[in-house]
Every structure is written in structure tokens, then in C-alpha cells.
Amino acid sequence: MTTISRETTCQTVLTTFEMTPGTCGDLQEALAAAYAEFIRHQPGFISGAIHVNDAQTRIASYSQWQRREDFQAMLRTPEMRERNRAIAALCSRFEPVMYEVAEVF
């Protein structure tokens, strides 16, 4: 379960994807499959979520990891590298960025 708190010691990763409405559904399916079949089973994974904007031109993925190194290790696996190549083909760009919670209201 996702917990957003300043006291949380986990690593938060927000990844944004830009695509056309024509590929949004395919990209959403690819991301959901990646989480369901692989990512959520990786060491250090806590939670994840996928958000789609109304225009279906952007997807934001939110994930939490016990440590930064856990997320980085997942990205380096052969399976995730293959999945990321397929994901990259469905969007014009994507960018994962690590964050720490600064404030919660």
C-alpha cells in the first residue's frame, strides 16, 4: 500500500510517459503487465500506481522502493531492459525521477 509521509524512509520514483492517444492503451497495458508480472515481485518493491490523463497523452507511474539501490537493480535486470525497450517504442519519451517526500497536506 502506498504511504506518503515525510517520515517514510523509502525511495519514491515518479516516471512520466508522453504518447499519442492512439498508443496510450497499449502503453498502459504494457506498464500494468510489467508491474503485475515482474516489478512487484522484485526485492525492495513496496507499491506502485499508474495514472492516465484525460487526453490520453501522458501517463504517470508512481512507485515506492525500500532503497534507491532496489529500484536501480530492478532496472538493470535483463527482463526489465527488454520491457523498457518495448515501452520506449510506444511513447515519444519517458523519464523516471527519484524523489523524497518534502511535505504532505
What pLDDT score was predicted for residue 72? Answer: 97
* pLDDT tens figures, 17-53: 999 999 999 999 999 999 999 999 999 999 999 999 9
pLDDT tier, 1 (very low <50, low <70, confident <90, very high otherwise): confident
Residues 36, 101, 93, 52, CA torsion sign: positive
Strand order in the sheet with 45-52: 45-52, 58-65, 11-18, 93-99
Report whether pLDDT(5) > 90: no
Residue 6's Cβ-count burial label (10 Å; 0-12, 13-18, 19+) is exposed
| Contact (CB, 8 A) for 67 and 52 | no
| Contact (CB, 8 A) for 88 and 65 | no
What topology is assigned to 11-99 in CATH? Alpha-Beta Plaits (3.30.70)
What is d(CA 57, CA 35) in angstroms, rounded to the nearest whole number? 20
For residue 93, the 8-state DSSP code is E
Chain-wide mean pLDDT for the chain?
Answer: 95
What pLDDT score was predicted for residue 8? Answer: 83
Using alpha carbons, list the distances in angstroms from residue 84 to 11, 16, 77, 99, 103. Answer: 20, 13, 11, 21, 31
